[in-house]
């Protein structure tokens, strides 16, 4: 089994991609998805968020929802909106957001290599979210949400990408948020073999986003393998849908924090405690940190710039030295009393795409008492954590631009 391989993608037929493409299933709630899909009968949201086609209040984890998603997928195939390619392909997928451009390879990646950590992880998963993705895959008999992978960039892959993307694309659309999505199918036997061999020579791949989708694919594979007396390892369930980007093109934004209260402290007492681990100075403008160890803090209508004391930074600790870890370990837990950010309802997380004005809004509204802006986690830090076999704190990375759902899906034969 190779690390990646080409596959016969299920995708919109010519001219239909703009009608189908949709935001990832996990960035919209049900009501937002319902609004987005209004008047768009072929939006992939009818497959990825099928509760929008059932009565309001329907439990999104009910059997009826998964069945509706499967029926909607079959309807789009029957109506000729989606069709499978006639032969296995790789697909180069380019995303352009403003001045940023990144080009990745759509492929299916080996579950066996995920299970042995050649495809490396950096997050814990939640059983309930895994269960949801398992039920989704089984109901659809397909993987429709790609796992976002990265690799240490390769001159050979760059060269092939450049060669392929000189040609006219199969898909060229601009989404509602202004992000441009472009896709090229690759079915030349020589290029397929070259890409497969180039990735096979790599030591590993890294999951950037999609830990629950990859874990679910592993569970589905294990179940189908156990129930298939003729299992060979070549079946489609041995692979999972992925888009693989080079590390030097990845864009990670800040992932900021807001907290509901000061843990019983008044503002002055709180600031005294903050100064035990940080240098604190006021700022006349919102603080967007420019380096590791620097933070912005918004409190009582005032921005502050925080710089952590150097003796608080843990050297040679890939997790403990992360900015998200330092803020948690030196301020959020000891001062604000939040020791389990995964479950504590007093803390929330705000993706950097929303900007610093969103932090101000949530504090000024009275919903939150204090907000923190962080310097973005770097892709090298993510890789270092994964290489060490460790996990990052929750909400450590916010990747932009987001992949679209619906452009290519992987059917499990």
Residue 284: give its domain's CATH number: 3.30.1760
Q: Which tokens go with 124?
A: 């814990």
Looking at the fold, whether 43 and 100 belong to one and the same domain comes out as: yes
Task: Establish if 388 belongs to a structural domain.
Answer: no
Of the candidates 173, 14, 8, the one whose C-alpha atom is nearest the C-alpha of residue 94 is 173
Task: Establish if 390 belongs to a structural domain.
Answer: no
CB 215 within 8 A of CB 130: yes
The predicted model gives 268-293 an average pLDDT of 98
pLDDT higher than threshold 90 for residue 113: yes
How confident is the model at residue 314, as a pLDDT?
82
Cut 0.85: pTM above it: yes
The span from the first CA to the last CA of the chain, in angstroms, equals 17
- In the block, tokens 């949709």 appear at 22
Alpha-carbon distance of 324 to 393, in angstroms, equals 7
Looking at the fold, whether 221 and 291 belong to one and the same domain comes out as: no
Helices (H), 121-266: 127-140, 155-164, 189-200, 211-226
> Over the stretch 383-413, which tens digit does the pLDDT of each residue have?
999 999 999 998 999 999 999 999 999 999 8
Task: Establish if 384 belongs to a structural domain.
Answer: no
Alpha-carbon distance of 65 to 319, in angstroms, equals 38
Altogether, the residues listed in the chain come to a count of: 413
Looking at the fold, whether 21 and 163 belong to one and the same domain comes out as: yes
CA dihedral in degrees (40, 45, 51, 55; nearest 10)?
Answer: -10
Cis peptide before 401 (omega within 30 of 0): yes
The predicted model gives 292-311 an average pLDDT of 97
Looking at the fold, whether 101 and 219 belong to one and the same domain comes out as: yes
Looking at the fold, whether 224 and 308 belong to one and the same domain comes out as: no
The predicted model gives 227-237 an average pLDDT of 96
The predicted model gives 212-229 an average pLDDT of 97
Domain that holds residue 354: 255-375
Strand partners, 83: 11
> Over the stretch 45-69, which tens digit does the pLDDT of each residue have?
999 999 999 999 999 999 999 999 9
The predicted model gives 321-332 an average pLDDT of 97
How confident is the model at residue 316, as a pLDDT?
85
Of the candidates 316, 318, 338, 333, the one whose C-alpha atom is nearest the C-alpha of residue 277 is 333
How confident is the model at residue 67, as a pLDDT?
98
């Amino acid at each position: 089994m190779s690390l990646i391989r080409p596959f016969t993608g299920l995708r919109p037929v010519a001219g239909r991609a703009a009608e189908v493409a949709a935001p990832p299933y996990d960035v919209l709630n049900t009501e937002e998805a319902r609004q987005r899909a209004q008047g768009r009968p072929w939006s992939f949201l009818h497959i990825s968020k099928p509760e929008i086609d059932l009565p309001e209040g329907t439990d999104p984890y009910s059997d009826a929802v998964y069945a509706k998603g499967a029926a909607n997928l079959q309807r789009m195939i029957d109506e000729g909106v989606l069709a499978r390619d006639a032969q296995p392909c790789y697909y180069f997928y380019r995303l352009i957001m403003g001045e940023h451009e990144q080009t990745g390879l759509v492929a299916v990646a080996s579950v066996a290599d995920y299970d042995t950590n050649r495809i490396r992880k950096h997050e814990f998963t939640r059983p309930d979210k895994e269960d949801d993705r398992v039920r989704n895959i089984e109901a659809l008999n397909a993987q429709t949400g790609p796992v976002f992978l990265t690799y240490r960039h390769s001159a050979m892959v760059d060269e092939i990408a450049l060669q392929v993307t000189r040609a006219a694309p199969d898909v060229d659309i601009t989404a509602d948020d202004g992000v441009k999505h472009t896709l090229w199918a690759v079915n030349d036997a020589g290029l397929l073999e070259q890409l497969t061999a180039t990735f096979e020579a790599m030591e590993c791949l890294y999951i950037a986003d999609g830990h629950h989708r990859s874990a679910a694919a592993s569970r589905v594979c294990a179940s189908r393998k156990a129930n298939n007396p003729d299992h060979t390892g070549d079946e489609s369930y041995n692979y999972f849908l992925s888009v693989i980007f080079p590390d030097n093109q990845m864009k990670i934004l800040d992932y900021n924090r807001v907290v509901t209260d000061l843990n019983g402290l008044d503002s002055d007492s709180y600031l005294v405690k903050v100064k035990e681990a940080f240098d604190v100075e006021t700022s006349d403008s919102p603080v967007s940190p420019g380096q590791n160890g620097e933070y912005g803090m918004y409190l009582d209508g005032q921005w502050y710039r925080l710089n952590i004391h150097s003796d608080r930074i843990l050297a040679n600790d890939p997790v403990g030295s992360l900015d998200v870890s330092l803020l948690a370990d030196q301020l959020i837990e000891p001062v604000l009393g939040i020791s389990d950010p995964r479950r504590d309802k007093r803390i929330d997380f705000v993706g950097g795409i929303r900007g610093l004005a969103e932090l101000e809004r949530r504090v000024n509204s009275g919903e939150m008492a204090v907000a923190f802006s962080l310097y973005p986690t770097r892709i090298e830090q993510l890789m270092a954590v994964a290489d060490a076999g460790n996990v990052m704190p929750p909400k450590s990375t916010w990747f932009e631009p987001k992949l679209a759902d619906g452009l290519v899906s992987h059917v499990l034969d």
